[in-house]
Amino acid sequence: MAIEVAPERKIKVPVWVIVLYGIILVLFLFLAGSGFYFYTLTKKLEKEIKEKEKQIIPTAEERALERDVVSKAKRIKIFSELLSGHKKINNVFSLIESFCLPKVQFTDFKLDTKKNLLSLSGRADNFVTLEQQIMVLKEEKFIKSVSLSQIGIAKEGGANFAFEITLDPEIYYISEDELPTQLGEEEETETTGETELIPQAESEQEEETESQQEIESEQEETGTENQQKETTSP
């Protein structure tokens, strides 16, 4: 009995399936290429970041140098603050020299920088000079107030005194160019001229009193002579 073999049938693949497989293959290759590209790019970026971090992160020597610079900067700042807040006491001595009159002598000096209080004691030739000294102090721009705490007559002549002077805090921080200069010759001549007028007036008053006394004595003498003549006449 003969066996008949049926011929094999060729399976025809639809065209759309082939197109679909082609698209999938292209997408797979694109994704694989993109993944490889991004992988290599990521590795490259990581390498660059590590190199930048090495450059940014300081070494031990750089850290030590940085600490040294910071400590020195703090010291400079503290020193500058102390220097800016330093009070120039010499300015007070220059101020005293500027307002001291020629006929006034300061014998004692006390300064309280916290209260800005200056205590001065001394001697003036007379009370008129002392009054002039007080007027000069009141006109000084770096002096806020002046009070006469003590006054008396000196044994050797003249007037003893003691001042309580309140200073302007600005006096401690100004430069030498801003300090007041010493009293000029014109001020000195004015003060000496005023002091000379008083003894002249006193001498004039003494002369007037002496002349009045002479006139009264002459009148008394003439009166006694007239009385004597009246008694001797018969």
Q: Domain check: are 104 and 176 in the same one?
A: yes
Query: pLDDT tens, 85-143?
Result: 556 788 888 888 888 999 999 999 899 988 999 999 999 999 999 999 999 999 988 99
Query: pLDDT tens, 164-195?
Result: 999 998 888 877 767 776 554 434 434 444 44
Confidence of residue 234 (pLDDT cuts 50, 70, 90): very low
Strand partners, 167: 143
Number of domains in the chain: 2
* pLDDT score recorded for residue 94: 86
Residue 217 lies in a domain: no
Give the count of beta carbons closer than 10 Å to the beta carbon of residue 143.
Answer: 19
Confidence of residue 5 (pLDDT cuts 50, 70, 90): low
Residue 29 lies in a domain: yes
145 is in which domain, residue-wise? 90-195
Record the tokens describing residue 188, joined without a space: 């000195």
Residue 137 lies in a domain: yes
CATH for 124: 3.30.1360.100
pLDDT at 77 over 50: yes
Q: Which of 106, 209, 116 is nearest to 162 (CA)?
A: 106
